[in-house]
Amino acid sequence: MSTAAIATEPVALWEAGATLGEGVLWDADRGHVWFVDIKGRRLHRCAPDGSDRRSWDAPGQISFAVRASDASLVVSLDDGLYRFDDATGTYSPFVKVEADLPGNRFNDGHVDPAGRLWFGSMDDSEAEPTGVLYRFDGRQVARMDEGYVITNGPAVSPDGRTLYHTDTLDKRVYAFDLAPDGSLSNRRPFAGITDGGHPDGMAIDAEGYVWIAVFGGWRIERRDPAGNKVGEVRFPCANITKLAFAGDDLRTVYATSARKGLSPEELAAQPLAGALFTFRAEVAGLPHHVLRLQE
C-alpha cells in the first residue's frame, strides 16, 4: 500500500532539534500537545497548530507524560514518577521506581482503557537486559515482564484485551493477553521489523491496527491485527520515535523524532531530525486515557 493511501505527507510542526524526542501526548481537555527530549532533559508543549510553545528543563531524563485523574501531569524521571506543575515548572516526587538502579532509565509509557499506566525501564547504555515492563494501577507498581535491553511502545487494543510491547534491539513487537485484572499471559511474537531500523513507540487506531515508529527506518509502519504490514508513512529523517492520534476526529497525528546517533554528515542531510511532525491519517486513532489514581 502506498504512503498516500493511509496518510498525508508529514510536515515539521516544531523544529525542536530534540536529541531524543519521545513521549508525545495529546491532552484533549486542554488542547495541548506534549512531548519530551529525553537526552536533552526538556519537556515541551504547544497548541495543535504548533503555536503557543512552552519548554521546561527537567531535573533528569524525562521520557513520557500522561494525565492523571486528579488533573495533574505525571511524568517519568530517573528514579520514578513525578507530578509536574506547568504554572511553577516544578517536579514533585510521586512514586519511586528503580531508585536503586542508577544505570537504568525509563523510556515509553501508555495508559490503558482501565486507567492503568504501563511503562518500561531500560539500560541507559543500551547493552544489558536490565529493562522491565511495569504496570502502575494508581496505587502500586508491579513488575510484569523483564529481560529487555530497550523497552518501548506499550499500547493496548481497542477492546482492551491485548497489550503490545516492543523489544527494540531484538527488532520485535510482542503481544500479550491482557486480563480485566491487569494480568498478562500468552506472550507471543506479533511483528518483526525486517526492512531496516528498529521498532520504537506505537499507537493503535480505531480499527485495531498497530502503527509502529521505526528508529533508523525513516518511517511509521501500519500493521493489521495479525501483524502484517499494510502501509507506511515516510519521513524526511531517519529516527522516528513515537506517535499520537489527536484532534477532534483523532485523525491528526503527531510524531517525534531524534538526532541521537546521527553523524555530522547525516545531520547535515537531515536538518529536520529532532522535529515534531504532524500529518493527517485516513483512519481515526484511539483517545488518550487518564491514569486513574486510587487512595
The catalytic residues are: 200
In DSSP terms, 191 is beta-bridged to 173
Contact 197/214 with Cβ under 8 angstroms? yes
CB–CB of 218/261 below 8 Å?
A: no
DSSP codes of every residue in 10-54: PEEEE----SBEEEEEEETTTTEEEEEETTTTEEEEE-TTS-S-E
The CA distance from 134 to 142, in Å, is 6
Instruction: State the virtual CA torsion across 88, 140, 208, 147 in degrees, nearest 10.
Output: 110
Q: Which residues of 163-189 are buried (b: 16+ CB within 10 A; e: fewer)?
A: bbbbbbbbbbbbbbebeeebebeeeee
Beta partners for residue 253, in sequence order: 245, 279
Q: Find residue 242's DSSP bridge partners.
A: 256
Which residues face 155 on adjacent strands?
A: 164
User: How many Å apart are CA 265 and CA 249, to the nearest integer?
Assistant: 40
| Residue 159, burial from CB neighbour count under 10 angstroms (0-12, 13-18, 19+) | exposed
- Three cell numbers at 75? 511524568
Q: Which of 255, 131, 275 is nearest to 201 (CA)?
A: 255
| Cell numbers representing residue 287 in the block | 483517545
Phi, psi of 20 (to 5 degrees): -145, 80
